[in-house]
Structure 1
């Protein structure tokens, strides 16, 4: 299972997702351009020394990323999703895709995804933080597939 971040804009969110990947043994794909310099110290500060324990791949764009996941199902997490993450059936080789913080993904990217999934929220709020969404999604996907790490 992999987490892919489409054009992330906030270094702290990326750092938190890298730490998440390190803790659960999940590969992280970063689809450029990003909204900050990769050497930004905020990424390392948020990820701390966990950054040394996560596999990260940076991609020049969405098409470059897609070429690295042939045959893998691309599951887009979006507020426009038609199915709840808790009703969706995850597979061990799924790629969990999250859009940029300010705008999600363009329709051209959403159109090639195999599923559009949402995290259910109260009607009066818009969305969760990117790192929080990734944590909830990954936790549910790993739970369903029996891939949670042993304590």
Structure 2
């Protein structure tokens, strides 16, 4: 089982850099669907990702249909949208034989409405107060969801207590 964060036409380099850093720390594959709203050489992108870029597996896709064509019958697609009816925490992400893909829309407009209408059963949301904000920050949303998946999966291949801390407890 592998977890994947997929960004549809991301616009803000700092968000993508922060998400890349989260991917590096969680062994999550990062997928970027073109066109990107920045250069991958962008100084803000590199600064947000710090020196972790070589620790992130990044897959580029020319467009949304090209990404969708890579999914197999053994993959679970979760489309993250504030318009979804299902709560992200109500989904079982602990499916050992299945890869988990979390697809996030563009910061300004989300995912194309026709695409969303074609996939209502795959849509999930993080509860929020819609009266106060339009949407949560993309990098925060990605972190919330990937850590829920990892929690359900018992944090596979992640160090839960540093050896130094472990030695102090003895």
Instruction: Please say if residues 74 and 113 of structure 1, whose CA atoms lie closer than 8 Å, have aligned partners that are also in contact.
Output: no
Instruction: Please say if residues 78 and 117 of structure 1, whose CA atoms lie closer than 8 Å, have aligned partners that are also in contact.
Output: yes
Instruction: Please say if residues 10 and 107 of structure 2, whose CA atoms lie closer than 8 Å, have aligned partners that are also in contact.
Output: yes
Instruction: Please say if residues 75 and 117 of structure 1, whose CA atoms lie closer than 8 Å, have aligned partners that are also in contact.
Output: yes
Name stretches of at least 5 consecutive residues in structure 1 with no aligned partner.
none
Offset, 1:95? 0.2
Instruction: Please say if residues 84 and 120 of structure 2, whose CA atoms lie closer than 8 Å, have aligned partners that are also in contact.
Output: no
- Matches of 2:159 and 2:18, distance apart in 1: 21
Q: TM-score w.r.t. structure 1 length?
A: 0.93
- Matches of 2:100 and 2:21, distance apart in 1: 19
Report whether the alignment pairs 1:116 with 2:131. no
Name stretches of at least 5 consecutive residues in structure 2 with no aligned partner.
161-170
Instruction: Please say if residues 73 and 114 of structure 1, whose CA atoms lie closer than 8 Å, have aligned partners that are also in contact.
Output: no
Poorly superposed stretches of 4+, deviation over 3 Å: none
SS at match of 1:142: helix
Number of residue equivalences: 151
Match of 2:14 among 5, 9, 12: 12
SS at match of 2:60: strand
- Matches of 2:123 and 2:43, distance apart in 1: 33
